[in-house]
Each structure stands twice: as C-alpha cells, then as structure tokens.
Amino acid sequence: MSLVFGAVADDLTGGLELAAMVVAAGAPCAFATAPPEHLDEPAIVIGRRTRVADPALATTDIRRIGQWLRDRGARQIFFKYCATFDSTPAGNIGNCADVLRELTGSKLTAFCPSFPEAGRRVFQGHLFADDRLISESPKRHDPLTPMTDPDLVRVLQAQTPTKVGLIPHQVVRAGFDAMAEHCDRLVAAGIGFALADAAVPDDLAALAALTVDWPLMTGNSSIAAYYPALWRERALVDPGMPAPRLAPVAGPGVVLAGSCAERTRRQLEIFGGERPVLMLDLAEGDADRLVASALDWALPRLAEGPVAIATSAGPEAVAAAQARLGQRRAASLAEEVLSRLAEAFRQIGVRRFLICGGETSGAVLDRLGITSLRVGAYRAPGISQALAEGPVPLAFCLKSGKLGPEDMLLPMLASMERGEQA
C-alpha cells in the first residue's frame, strides 16, 4: 500500500492526537517515535521531541524523518506543531518547515494551527485562546515557549528566511477558487509560507480541500481530521473502517505530570479531591532523592487506587526553580525524574500511564524503550488512548498540558481499564 500521508510531529502528545484523529476518520494510521522497519498502513505519524530542542539538532532530525517519508513515497508530508504555535524566535517551526520545503520542492506551504474545538483560532493572522489574544492568556507564562506576540505572521517570519504571507479569513470564506487564486498571487510575489486564518470547523474543511494535494502541509492536528474523507474521494484509501477498540488493561494506574499549564494544574487539583497527589519541588535539584522519596510515598498508596506525581507548578514556583537550576536544567530534571519513576512503576506492575505534557511524554516513552503504539480513535481534545503491545501490554494517554476536560484524569484511567473507545 502506498504511503498517502506521512506526518512528523514536534512532540508526542500532538503526534498521538493527530494519529487518533486520522483513525477516528476511518483511515488506518500508525504511530511511532522513530521510523519503523515495517509499515502496512496508508498513513503514519512519527512523534519526535524537537519542539524545544537546539534548532540545529531539530532541523537535522526533521530532515532525517522527512527524507525517510520521501523515500517511502509519501504523497504528502505533514508537519504537526501545537495549536498555540509553541516556539521562540530561534525556532522550531519555521526552521523545520524550511527543511521540509526543500525536501518536497513545495512552492507554497500553509500553516494552520487553529483548533476551534479547543478554543484556538487564527483571525487576520492573530492567534486567539478562547476570547483573548494568546499574548493575554496563561500561555504568556510558559516556562520554555512563552507566547507574547499574537501576530503569527511576525512570529513565523522571525524563524525563517522564507517570506511569509497570509491567507486571510475573507479569502477562506470566499471558497476554493478564491483561495487558489490568492495562493497563486502569493507565489508570484515570492512568498513561500502562508499563515491560514481559521475560526470555525468549516474553515478547516475548506483549507483541507485546498491543501490535500499539496506536497507539504503544516498545522495542528485538527485540519488533518478532514483529509481521510478527501482521500476516499480520490480512491487513495479503502472505504472507512470502524476504529479499533483497544484491549482493556488491568493493573495499577498512575498520572505523571510535567506540564506547568494552568489546565494541567486544575486537573491535578480535581484528581486530588479523590486520590493522592504528590507535588515534587524541583528546586531541590537532586534527582536520586526526588525519585526515591516519590516511590516511598507512592508504593503504599497504589494498592488503594491511582496516584499522581507531578512537577507541575505555577509561574512563581517555576521561576524559582529556573533561577536556582537554570531554565534547561529545570526542564530536564523534571523529565529525568518522571521518566525514571515510570520505569520503576512498570517494574512493580503499573500498567496504565496518563502522562501530562509533550516533553514528559517523550521522556517516558524513551525511558521505557517504547517506539510504537497502537492508537485508538480520537474522542476530544486531550482524550486519546494508545496501547504498547507486547507480552505485558501497557495502556497510555499522552495528554497535552493545555488540553482535556478539567475532570479527565480519573475517568481516563478507568477507560484504559475498560478498553473503551466509544
């Protein structure tokens, strides 16, 4: 089967969500953290950890994955990043898109981060979080990728030498022909990248129809949900099939949270109303001591039900840890501690893992040596399940720190135990 859709995601939570959306739309989709030896599905998402990596390392990594997808005849390459356009002037969105543009020979590549279902919308090139500009939202306090400028044309242009333009909302609403003519004008003006406005699902559907045959597309996962129906119209994939039902996984469950997003902190607060939560203080700076104390705390409590261990903290606590340890060391310490805890928990029989945060998710899967997951159907922002198959299956939910209902943690762990996908 030819590869219709080859995606590379800049973190694992977004990659899993993208794969789950494709599955829910009726197209088989593989999910891996590295190029697999065998691939039977018409679509694949490869989740990487380039979002906050050194820009040179990120572009090298994305080029390698992009070349692998090209070598397997991918009809379209899709670069997935966060709906909040998580990046800095150094990258890693524009620089990574540049190498994919070079590989594919794309004349014009669109950028569509909008996720209306999660309240992320782009209008006249400006990103909104619910009813306010992203620069006025809690995202401005992100410890690694604070968003202080809502103008995504300007944000992207700082990351790339490629000229950046806009597909404005009035053009999107005017229909396919108007968009195609506008894009022709952008190309004639020497513009290679274009931010695409999208405020409602109909805008995403229109942009999907415009870009489904483009060799390179970028965006959040939400626009890709509209591609499988278009693939079927073109006889590129078999007619829609029911989404797989993941097998139930019994055994203890844990929440490991590294995200400092306001939504994750609220989810932990609600979880804590029913089950124990341990908040680790990274300012202590000693990974061995933090891991040991967390295990001593968790082991007697796991017999009674799920527990949560978090390095999540508010802006003031994050600033204190960064002041003592440095920004990168504070982040890497959180990943080290939580991934080592995941490894220890697996050894004592924990089988269900709910991981909050893209970088944390990547660190956990790396530590556990898991390179592929069987993906269940997408249900809602932040709610998708996956299974690491093997002699002892492990169930996962890899959740973006900013997404998911406030009360999702305990129900999600219960869903893994039931194996539900409906």
Both 379 and 307 in one domain: the answer is: yes
* 222 and 342 inside one domain: no
Distance CA 232, CA 221 (A): 19
Q: What is the CATH number of the domain that holds 309?
A: 3.40.980.20
| β-pair partners for 372 | 32
Question: 347 by DSSP, 3-state: which?
Answer: helix
Residue 248 lies in a domain: no
Distance of CA 49 to the CA centre of its chain: 10
Model pLDDT, residue 421: 47
Q: Alpha-carbon distance 249 to 376, whole Å?
A: 14
Residues near 395 by Cβ (< 8 Å), separated by ≥ 6? Answer: 246, 249, 351, 352, 353, 385, 386, 387, 388, 416, 417
Helix (H, G, I), strand (E, B) or coil at 35: coil
Total number of residues shown for the chain: 422
Tell me how crowded residue 247 is: count the other CB atoms within 10 A of its CB.
Answer: 11
Domain that holds residue 293: 253-418
Asked which of 198, 233, 268 is the last residue of a domain, the reply is: 233
Query: How is residue 63 written in tokens?
Result: 């080029």
Q: Does residue 243 form part of some domain?
A: no
pLDDT at 320: 55
Tell me the C-alpha distance between 215 and 232, whole Å. Answer: 18
State pLDDT tens for residues 118-161: 899 999 999 999 999 999 998 888 878 889 999 999 999 999 99
Question: H-helix or E-strand containing 101?
Answer: helix 94-104
Q: Write out the E strands in 203-266.
A: 216-219, 253-257
Answer whether residue 241 is part of any domain.
no
Residues 88 and 166 in one domain: yes
Write phi, then psi, for 370 (nearest 5 degrees): -95, 120
Q: What is the pLDDT of residue 379?
A: 80
pLDDT for res 238: 86
- Please tell me whether residues 154 and 10 are part of one structural domain: yes
Distance, CA of 160 to chain centre: 22
Task: Report, as ranges of residue numbers, the positions in the chain whose pLDDT lies below 50.
Answer: 421-422
DSSP code, position 305: S
**Three-state SS at 23:** helix
Judge if 64 and 11 occupy the same domain: yes
105 and 186 belong to one structural domain: yes
In a domain, 196, yes or no: yes
Of 168, 201, 233, which residue sits at a domain end?
A: 233
Residues 127, 23: one domain? yes
Does residue 72 form part of some domain?
A: yes
The answer to whether 116 touches 199, Cβ cutoff 8 Å, is: yes
Q: Are residues 193 and 269 in the same domain?
A: no
We report the CATH number of the domain holding residue 175 as 3.40.50.10840
> Quick count: other Cβ atoms within 10 Å of Cβ 149?
17
- pLDDT value, residue 299: 94
Q: Say if 247 falls within a structural domain.
A: no
> Are residues 123 and 48 located together in one domain of the fold?
yes
Question: For residues 128 and 192, what is the distance between their CA atoms, to the nearest angstrom?
Answer: 24
Whether residue 264 sits in one domain with residue 177: no
> Do residues 38 and 136 both lie within one domain?
yes
Do 183 and 310 reside in the same domain of the chain? no
Listed in sequence order, the residues at least 6 apart from 293 whose beta carbon sits closer than 8 Å to its beta carbon are none
Establish if 242 belongs to a structural domain.
no
How buried is 417 (Cβ within 10 angstroms: 0-12 exposed, 13-18 middle, 19+ buried)?
Answer: middle
Q: Which of 190, 205, 233 is the last residue of a domain?
A: 233
Q: Is residue 360 part of a domain?
A: yes
Q: How many domains does the chain have?
A: 2
- What span, in angstroms and rounded, lies between the C-alpha atoms of 412 and 41? 27
> Which residues neighbour 62 within 8 Å (Cβ) at sequence distance 6 or greater?
8, 48, 50, 79, 96, 99, 100
Going by C-alpha positions, the residue among 35, 34, 44, 50 that lies closest to residue 1 is 44
Rounded to an integer, what distance in angstroms lies between the CA atom of residue 33 and that of residue 16?
Answer: 10
